[in-house]
Structures are given as structure tokens and as C-alpha cells.
Amino acid sequence: MTGSQAKAYAALLAWYDAMGVDEAIGDAPVDRFAIVPETMPLKRPARAPLARPGQPPVAPAPARPAPEAAPPSPTSLEAAGTLGELEALVAQFEGCALKRTAKNLCFSRGSADARIMLIGEAPGRDEDIQGKPFVGRAGKLLDRMLATIGLDETQVYITNTIYWRPPGNRTPTPQEFGACAPFLSRQIELLAPDVLVLLGGAAAKHILGVTEGIMRLRGKWKIYKNADRDIPTLATLHPAYLLRSPDAKRYAWRDLLMLKTRLEETQK
């Protein structure tokens, strides 16, 4: 390999990194140069019908867009009577494009009998590999945060607003949020938690339907209406943000103390 080739490859890898590419799509490398492409017979392009004298030319019919998968109906969601049945329904759903690029569905982790439900934004690389939310560095920090107020995985239920990893960990689109929203609402209804904890600004804005930033939302009890229940809801900082900004942990600690106090009050 010449020096110029090495520089070209290094520039290509740097571009991949900037675009958020951090893994290969296939599980095994493929040498594309060793594959002999099959020869395909050339097809004559279709010709538009000839116009008769005195008539305008006939324009070809526009191509029809591929139909989008229909959102889940309320009836189908109500048919899911358990969290396990709902997870199976989500696994069959084809209405979110993220499913086609993700390795695994990340539905939940924790206890199906938990009183506390924590909701983040979307899975990352480690979550996509393991098929569970919050299992990477941010998840380990979250576990340590919960342990400071006496909670562990057997006492909480953790999920995200999006069930599949966005490529390159980009921000999910409104369409992707909307595709998963009916399932998340049913998920909350089936778990019926005493308290919701929203991790980060994206989850807080999506669940509460507000526009304020997380620093304005955190540390205040809100109400999330789900089915016929009003669920006390607390927004706090996302563990991934705390890894980047350790000084902000003091705010998260105050939020955890608020959560602990609320749980103690509901047990009386």
C-alpha cells in the first residue's frame, strides 16, 4: 500500500466516524472485490406511447409510493393483556423504519411488578447488541444512582420511548416517536406504576407534551394521564448527560431524594 492510498483510507475512516458509523451491518466481513457479479441481460427502457398528430404527448404514469405500515389499532393493543404479549406485538410491528437497521428489539428490563417505571429516549450500541435498555455505561451509572436510594433492578421497570436503536445514535424523528407511542402508552397502562421517572429532555418532552428544557422540567412533580389514571411523574437528567457533565450530578441527587420521599409517603 502506498502512502497516498493509506491517506485515502484514513480519510474514508474519518468520514465514516463523523457520519456515526461504528459497526458493520453484517456479522462477517465480505471481500466485495472477490465476488464476481452476475451478468444481467440488458433491458430496453420502456418507451412512452407515441402521441397522435395534433395531440399532446402522453406523460408516463407517476410511480406509486410504497404503502406505509398501518399503526397499531386500539383493538390490537387491548388484545395484549400482559407485558409479554405486548412485547410480542411490538416484535411483529413493521411500522418503524428503525427496526430494519437495528440488531435487536430493546423492550424493557426490570420487574413487571415494579412500582417505579423509568423511561429514557432510545437504545444505544450496547443496548442494541444485548436487546435490553440501559445496559451500557449510562445504564451502569443509572443502576448506581438507584442503589443510592435503596433500589435495584428487581424493584424498577426500565424502557425507552423508542424500542430500536437509531443509526449512529442520532435523535429519533417525530415519525419514529409516533410509531412507538401507542405501544408505550399501553406498556405504561399494563405496568400501572405508582411513579414515572423520565430520563432526559427528549423523554420528558415526548411523554409530557411540553417544550421546556430538562433543566426547567427536572425537580418538579408533574402528572401524566394514562387511561383512567393520573400518574405522578418526575423528570431528571439522563445518565449519559451526567457522564459528560459530572458537575450536574448534584441535581440528579436532589431528584433521587424527591423520588425516595414520594415512595416512602405512598407506603404509609
Which pLDDT tens digit goes with each residue over 64-119?
544 445 667 666 898 899 999 999 999 999 999 999 999 999 999 999 999 999 99
| Residue 69 belongs to a domain | no
pLDDT for position 52: 55
Least confident range from 58-72, 130-144, 213-227: namely 58-72
Q: Is residue 49 part of a domain?
A: no
From CA 237, how far away is CA 249, in angstroms rounded? 8
Question: Which residues span the domain enclosing 91?
Answer: 74-267
Given a cut of 70, whether residue 25 has pLDDT beyond it is no
CATH number at 98 reads 3.40.470.10
Length of the chain, in residues: 268
Average pLDDT value for residue range 123-129 = 97
Mean pLDDT of 213-220: 96
With a cut of 90, say whether residue 160 has pLDDT above it: yes
**Number of domains into which the chain is organized:** 1
Q: What average pLDDT does the segment 179-203 reach?
A: 97
Residue 46 neighbours by CB distance under 10 Å? 6
Q: Identify the band that residue 38 occupies on the pLDDT scale cut at 50, 70 and 90.
A: low
Q: What is the pLDDT of residue 261?
A: 96
Q: Considering the chain, what percentage of its residues have pLDDT values greater than 90?
A: 69
Q: What are the cell numbers at 221?
A: 412533580
Q: For the whole model, what pTM was predicted? A: 0.75
Q: Which of 155, 195, 189 is nearest to 85 (CA)?
A: 189
**Is 183 in contact with 80 (CB distance < 8 Å)?**
no
For residues 120 and 8, the model is more confident at: 120
DSSP lists the bridge partners of residue 195 as: 116
Work out the angle at residue 112's Cα, subtended by the Cα atoms of residues 106 and 113, and round it to the nearest 5 degrees.
155
Domain annotation covers residue 36 = no
Question: For 27-37, what is each residue's pLDDT tens digit?
Answer: 566 555 555 54
187 in a domain, yes or no?
yes
Q: What is the pLDDT of residue 114?
A: 97
Tell which wins on pLDDT, 29 or 264. Answer: 264
Rounded distance between C-alpha atoms, residue 24 and residue 28, angstroms: 8
C-alpha 126/C-alpha 238 separation (Å) is 16
Q: Express each pLDDT in 236-250 by its tens digit.
A: 999 999 999 999 999
Residue 144 in domain: yes
Percent of the chain with pLDDT over 70: 77
Q: What is residue 243's predicted lDDT score, i.e. its pLDDT?
A: 98
Residue 28 located in a structural domain = no
What are the residues whose beta carbons fall under 8 Å from the beta carbon of 160, sequence distance 6 or more? 106, 119, 120, 121, 122, 123, 133, 203
On whether residue 35 sits in a domain, the answer given is no
Q: Which residue in the block uniquely carries the three cell numbers 400518574?
A: 231
Q: Are strands 229-236 and 195-199 parallel, antiparallel or unpaired?
A: parallel
Q: What is the pLDDT of residue 119?
A: 98
User: Three-state secondary structure along the chain?
Assistant: CCHHHHHHHHHHHHHHHHCCCCCCCCCCCCCHHHCCCCCCCCCCCCCCCCCCCCCCCCCCCCCCCCCCCCCCCHHHHHHCCCHHHHHHHHHHCCCCHHHHCCCCCCCCEECCCCCEEEEECCCCHHHHHHCCCCCCHHHHHHHHHHHCCCCCCCCEEEEECCCCCCHHHCCCCHHHHHHHHHHHHHHHHHHCCCEEEEECHHHHHHHHCCCCCHHHHCCCEEEEEECCEEEEEEEECCHHHHHHCHHHHHHHHHHHHHHHHHHHHHHC
Rounded to the nearest integer, the mean pLDDT of the chain is 86
Could you tell me if residue 41 is inside a domain?
no
**pLDDT band with cut points at 50, 70 and 90 for residue 43:** very low
